[in-house]
Amino acid sequence: MQKEISNYKKLDEVEEDLSKKPRTPFTINDLMKYWIEYADLKKQKGRAGYYSSLINHKPKLDSESFLINLELDNLIQKHEIDEDKIEFLSFLRNKTNNFGILLNISVSKTDDKNIKTEFLNDKEIFLKMSKKNPNLNALKNSFKFDIEY
């Protein structure tokens, strides 16, 4: 077990020196073309959630530093992309021929005051639904449903 852990450490410690590799300029349009291409690859591999995270959130590019900022909705999305970050960056770097690309992922802050959590029992759920759709009461009465409260 200890030997396996030390092997992982050695793999993590070996990082490729990218300072001497090309840093060809690219536009946000170029980035979006490759961004969508990568998202499609993930969708084909059955990773629809990952695909959705990339497609529904547009990256912002600092064209001077080649820093890509991506703001996501939640930590689950961030974790999923973080796990694949090395492969994702490698794909983008090779496609753009720019090995200075960096990816910064953040999670948007939600205003907790606007989030309302409601816990309802069965009776409250039915009453709320029947307010929105009065036909539910008619359906319940015509079929003589005994909805347990």
* Interval 96-138: pLDDT, tens: 999 999 999 999 876 555 556 678 888 888 888 889 998 988 8
The DSSP-derived string for 51-81 is HHHHHHS--EEETTTTEEEEEESSHHHHHHH
Q: Kindly report the number of other CB atoms within 10 A of residue 139's CB atom.
A: 12
Does the global pTM surpass 0.75?
Answer: no
3-state secondary structure of 98: strand
The per-residue pLDDT for 7 is: 47
The answer for residues whose C-beta is within 8 angstroms of residue 21's C-beta and 6 or more apart is: 99
- 69 or 7, which is more confident: 69
Q: Kindly report the number of other CB atoms within 10 A of residue 18's CB atom.
A: 14
pLDDT digits (tens, 9 = 90+) for 31-58: 999 999 999 999 999 999 999 999 999 9
- 125 or 77, which is more confident: 77
Helix (H) or strand (E) holding 18: none
Residue in 76, 70, 69, 68 with CA at minimum distance from that of residue 92? 68
Q: Distance of alpha carbon 61 from its chain centroid, rounded?
A: 18
| Domains (range + CATH), the chain | 17-109 (3.30.300), 118-149 (no CATH)
